[in-house]
Amino acid sequence: MSHIKHLLKTPRYGGLLALVLICLLLPLLLQNAYQFDVAIKVGISAVVVVGLNLLIGYTGQISLGHAGFFGLGAYSSAILTVNYEWSALAALLAGSVGVGLIAFVLARPILKLKGHYLAMATLGLGIIISIVIATEDWLTGGPDGMGVGPFMLFDYEIYGEKAWYWVVAALLVLSVWLALNIIDSPVGRALRAVHGSEVAAQVAGIDTTHYKVLVFVFSAVIASVMGSVFAHYSGFVTPTEAGFFHSIELVTMVVLGGMASTYGGILGALILVLLPQLLSGLEDLEMIIFGLILMLTMIFMPKGLLPTVTGRLKGGKA
Amino acid sequence: MSAEFLQYLFTGITIGAIYALVGLGFSIIYNASHVINFAQGEFLMIGGMCTVALVGTGLPMPVAILAAVAVTAVAGLALQKFAVAPARNAEVVTIIIITIGASIFLRGLVQLVWGKEFHALPAFSGDEPITIGGATILPQSLWVLGITLVIVVALSWFFNKTLLGKAILATSHNPDAAKLMGINTGFILLISFGLSAMLGAIAGILVAPITLTSYDVGIMLGLKGFVAAVLGGLGSGAGAIAGGLILGIAEAMAAGYISSDYKDAVPFVIILAILFFMPSGLFGLRGTERV
Amino acid sequence: MKPWSQIIGSLTLSLVALSPSAWAADNIKIGSFLAVTGPASFLGDPELKTLQMTIEEINAEGGVLGRQLELVHYDSQGSAGKARTFVKRLIDSDEVDVIVGGSASGETLAVIPLMERSGMPFVSLAGAVSIVDPVKRWVFKTPHTDRMAAGKIFAHMKQNGISQIAMISGTGGFGKSGLKQSKEVAGEYGIKILSSETYGPKDTDMTAQLTKIKNTAGVQAVLNFGFGQGPAIVTKNYKQLGIQVPLFQSHGVASKKYIELAGDAAEGVKLPASALLLAEQLPEGDAQKPVIMAYKQKYEARYNSPVSSFGGHALDGLMLVVNAMKQAGSTDKEAVRAALEQTRGYMGTAGEVNMSEKDHLGLDLTAFRMLEIRNGSWQMVN
């Protein structure tokens, strides 16, 4: 008991409890299917961002291609369930295993690269995936995308915004729990060392490449699973899900919310999904204001929103 | 050489020269500040759009071009002064996001002021194609190639022979030492953004008659320029030029001989292949990481 | 944990701000999502302007069924994902009575399941034939399909003794779908497609693809399926390479902007388009003439830019819905849907519309005309 109490007092696991509470209470505030839809979109992005944040925030590796993995997951589910009549769960698993393998094979040559070269390589990877999806229209429906059936779990159909809300909320809590475990494990300490200085970590006898590969694969698989979830929830997938802009959006969520801050990433996802909805009435001004908000936040809070705000509230410097 | 091959080569070199100019812009800023400026493509767009708008008001073309280059340079200076400089101690990704924010902002601004439509700029010296060995090339392509050559020569003179150019190089190699030598590194960074913006504007104006221009024309050209810069090795001027030309020619050849469907994937396949075997690009320095 | 849970709390409150607004309850709400910005903005921009202008005009004349029309519009930027969210917002949060919108086929196809599920009468402004074939209960559309455009062009080619062609098309949704439909109907007109090339939506040079076509033996004409700046660049490159066989474009370039962008190179290019572009050239007594002249004059006077057939699709969509409401005598969704399906003899910018249970488009090829660009302007050809 006292052990659990102690855990809850640590900011990390106390945060998990708060997240669970928010997920439980939020539906009371949501009034219609559209608001649930926005909440689900936030959730789906947030889960991907939790995984990506491990990579960017804790290992210091940039990926500008994670939407590619998301897209692969989405299209695996779409193609396998629609064209080959697989069950939704089997398709989701097959997609994530496939993406995991691809990520594993590519991880070593890609993660050998540093800084901007790594950014370029992951960006290229993502773009190649989206071009293939858009071009092979006999399989994928081409640029106009393809419809996807509902998610049948055995005989039960997950249908409607409310059902999906609970699925996504559960996945979000699960992913945060997994991430916190990784962060607090010996692996996690090694990861933070990698971000600090790779050479120093190597000198200390840590197999940095091994950990980087692990996190890269983990974050790719999470992206793939959420791609599958997205495909079934929205009932429609297009190549833009795998595209460059989606990748940039995901990275922006991480950086805006706070690198190496698991909850910060969730906040980033919340803001980036909500902002276009809030700005939608501004028509021609939307881009200007969106760009401005992005710039100003990063200029004045370079560590990201959540770390900066918590830092200020604690009275210290962020 | 068959006429067909020659035609692909002309096409590739023209577009490759533009990639090279954009890549040079990336390299100059990277050299001075180790920042990758994702708003580089927007400089190109502002140059083209501003020229179109000024020509539309009745200004003669040369005046419009000079004014557009000046406007873009101011945009570059402002970007450094107000967006990049205040965040100079931030992480690489943070600065990338700032420049992405800036690119969205600039696109939004241009769209608001000059509209969403595509515009055509008249070619500098007519549209009558020139036939060489059975292939054709537009006079505008010769302008692109000629001016790219002039810029390359001018830049190499600037960096190797002038005090300011040497100061920029010194800052890029070792900012602290440069500061000790009395170089105003803040000013150097400002200058490099201005210079890079001017390069972008010139590229944008040169291609506008061939590719047309609009508020979002910078996205793809900026991305390809980034690929060119990385392909050649970040920070290497010669590398950016080689990278740009390789990309342009590879794209044209791929569209002609392989499949136009996958033409756009070709640059990225090349860059991945090269990075797997040469992690610092073709001409990049194999740097050691600071501990 | 306290500080940031407060932040998240206050942000969830902002979600509440997105709740249905307490607007005048007795207005008829016309929902719309259009690609007003982004690569398809040349479609969405005139469409939105047309909707705004026409709704103002209808309201000034007393509205529909004694109620005022209210436009609830979101900019989809042509993205299927954004369109889906906005359509949910229109249906669940704004609670609109009917939706007229969807500039591009991709965004339209992506929202069809939502319309069908919630029973929302929906008139699409996009081209793909798959929007109304097979027929969906709640989905209608106004523009001619890409399949019809291909048919019109091939019929014209056949008349002029052309039987072997090459195609170059954009890799965007419009070009891809156009290419597919062209391949499907080519046989019916005895046309053989000898070579097919593509270009990306942001491509800046198509000489490589066109060189390949130029070197394909036996090509008697080239057809370019695409919209936006792509076809203008194709046209310029076509002239640069000195290709002698005639160039055909699709209805995707049916706006003055294309002629402006392609310049001299556009001379002699042929394309199918609605009569809107030829308003003045229609003979007096043509039943369509008064409709399109009125729209053209109002639009051009108000926005100081030439009409395109795209804005016309929005006018047709809105008027079909308005007429259906008048016919049904209510805004009840099922009644409006049934009345839309009963549309007979409505004369719009795209031609005479006769819908039925089996046809939610209601157009035939007669109102589709072949045009040729001469002296920087449209000329009818036969």
Residue-wise pLDDT tens digits, C164-182: 999 999 988 889 899 999 9
Hey, are the CB atoms on C208 and B120 less than 8 Å from each other?
no
> Is B120's Cβ below 8 Å from some Cβ in A?
no
Lowest mean pLDDT among A166-180, A280-294, C31-45, C131-145: A280-294
Dist. CA A272–CA A167, nearest whole Å: 21
Domain total for chain A? 1
| pLDDT number for residue A285 | 86
Q: Does A238 touch chain C (CB under 8 A)?
A: yes
Quick check: B176 contacting A, CB < 8 Å? no
Task: Return the partners of chain B (3 or more C-beta pairs < 8 Å).
Answer: A, C
- CATH number for the domain running over C147-279+368-380: 3.40.50.2300
b (16+ CB within 10 A) / e for B28-46 = bbbbbbebbbbbbbbbbbb
pLDDT of amino acid C111: 94
Q: Check if C25-145+293-366 and C147-279+368-380 are the same fold.
A: yes
Angle at C79 between CA A229 and CA B268, to 5 degrees: 80
**Is A110 among the domain residues?**
yes
Whether residue C207 lies within 8 A of chain B, CB to CB, comes out as yes
**What burial class does residue B8 get, using C-beta atoms within 10 Å of its C-beta: 0-12 exposed, 13-18 middle, 19+ buried?**
buried
Domain extents in chain B: 3-277
**Residue C14: what pLDDT?**
46
Predicted confidence at residue B287, as pLDDT, reads 46
Per-residue pLDDT, C7: 46
Give me the mean pLDDT over the C148-152 stretch: 94
Which pLDDT value is given to residue A315?
67
Contact C109 A144 (CB under 8 A): yes
Distances (CA, A) of C26 to C70, C71, C120, C133, C318: 10, 13, 19, 35, 19
Contact C12 A134 (CB under 8 A): no
| Average pLDDT along chain A | 88
User: C327-349, pLDDT tens digit by residue?
Assistant: 999 999 999 999 999 999 999 99
**Chain B CB contacts of C207 below 8 Å:** 7, 10-11, 252
C25-145+293-366 CATH choice from 3.30.460.80, 3.40.50.2300, 3.40.50.1860, 3.40.309.10? 3.40.50.2300
Q: Domain extents for chain C?
A: 25-145+293-366, 147-279+368-380
Q: Which of C3, C16, C171 sits opposite A134 (nearest CB)?
A: C171
Contacting chains of C (3 CB pairs or more, <8 Å) are A, B
Residue pair A57/A215 in contact by the 8 Å Cβ criterion? no
> Is the model more confident about B172 or about A307?
A307
pLDDT at position C20 is: 45
pLDDT at position C9, please? 47
Segment A214-243 shows an average pLDDT of 94
C187 to chain A nearest CA, in Å? Answer: 20
- Say which range, B232-236, B238-242, C67-71, C134-138, has the weakest mean pLDDT: B232-236
pLDDT for C65 equals: 93
| CB atoms C208 and B214 under 8 Å | no
pLDDT at A275 over 50: yes
| Domain of A226, in residue numbers | 48-265
Chain B residues lying within 8 Å of C239, measured CB to CB: 127, 129
Residue A100 within any structural domain of the chain? yes
Surface of B (188-217) touching A: CB under 8 A: none
**B157 has a chain A CB within 8 A of its CB:** no
Determine the pLDDT at residue B123: 92
Q: What is the ipTM of this complex?
A: 0.89
Give the pLDDT score at C23: 45
Q: Which chains touch A (3 or more CB pairs under 8 A)?
A: B, C
- What does the alpha-carbon distance between residue A68 and residue A230 come to, in Å, rounded to a whole number? 14
What percent of chain C shows pLDDT beyond 90?
73
Q: Are B228 and B247 in contact (CB under 8 A)?
A: yes
Residues on B contacting C at a C-beta cutoff of 8 Å? 4, 7-8, 10-12, 14-15, 111, 116-120, 127, 129, 131, 136, 138, 207, 210-212, 214, 216-217, 219-221, 251-253, 255-256, 260-261, 263-264
Structure-token match 């949704």, residue found:
C173
- pLDDT value for C145: 92
pLDDT tens per residue, range C87-144: 999 999 999 999 999 999 889 999 999 999 999 999 999 988 989 989 999 999 999 9
Residue B288 pLDDT > 70 = no
Q: Is C256 helix (H, G, I), strand (E, B) or coil?
A: helix
Residue from the list B212, B251, B253 with its beta carbon closest to the beta carbon of C229: B212
- Over range B189-209, report the average pLDDT: 95
Nearest CA in chain B to A305: B94
Tokens of B233: 């090795």
| Residue from the list C45, C200, C233 with its beta carbon closest to the beta carbon of B212 | C233
CA distances from B205 to B63, B231, B236, B242 (A): 13, 24, 24, 22
Position C75 pLDDT exceeds 60: yes
Q: Which of C79, C211, C216, C258 to mutate to test the interface with B (most CBs of B within 10 A)?
A: C211
Q: What average pLDDT score do residues C239-267 get?
A: 92
Which band of pLDDT confidence, cut at 50, 70 and 90, is reported for residue A4? low
Could you write out the three-class secondary structure of chain B? CCHHHHHHHHHHHHHHHHHHHHHHHHHHHHHHHCCCCCCHHHHHHHHHHHHHHHHHCCCCHHHHHHHHHHHHHHHHHHHHHHHHHHHCCCCHHHHHHHHHHHHHHHHHHHHHHHCCCCECCCCCCCCCCEEECCEEECHHHHHHHHHHHHHHHHHHHHHHHCHHHHHHHHHHHCHHHHHHCCCCHHHHHHHHHHHHHHHHHHHHHHHHHHHCECCCCHHHHHHHHHHHHHHHCCCCHHHHHHHHHHHHHHHHHHHHHHCHHHHHHHHHHHHHHHHHHCCCCCCCCCCCCCC
- HSE-CB for C209 with a 13 A CA cutoff: 30
Using an 8 Å CB-CB cutoff, list chain B residues near A251: 93, 96-97
Chain segment B50-64, per-residue pLDDT in tens: 999 999 999 999 999
State in words which class domain B3-277 has: mainly alpha
pLDDT digits (tens, 9 = 90+) for C275-329: 888 888 888 888 899 999 999 999 999 999 889 889 999 999 999 999 999 999 9
Give how far C212 is from chain A: nearest CA, Å.
20
CB A70 within 8 A of CB A246: yes
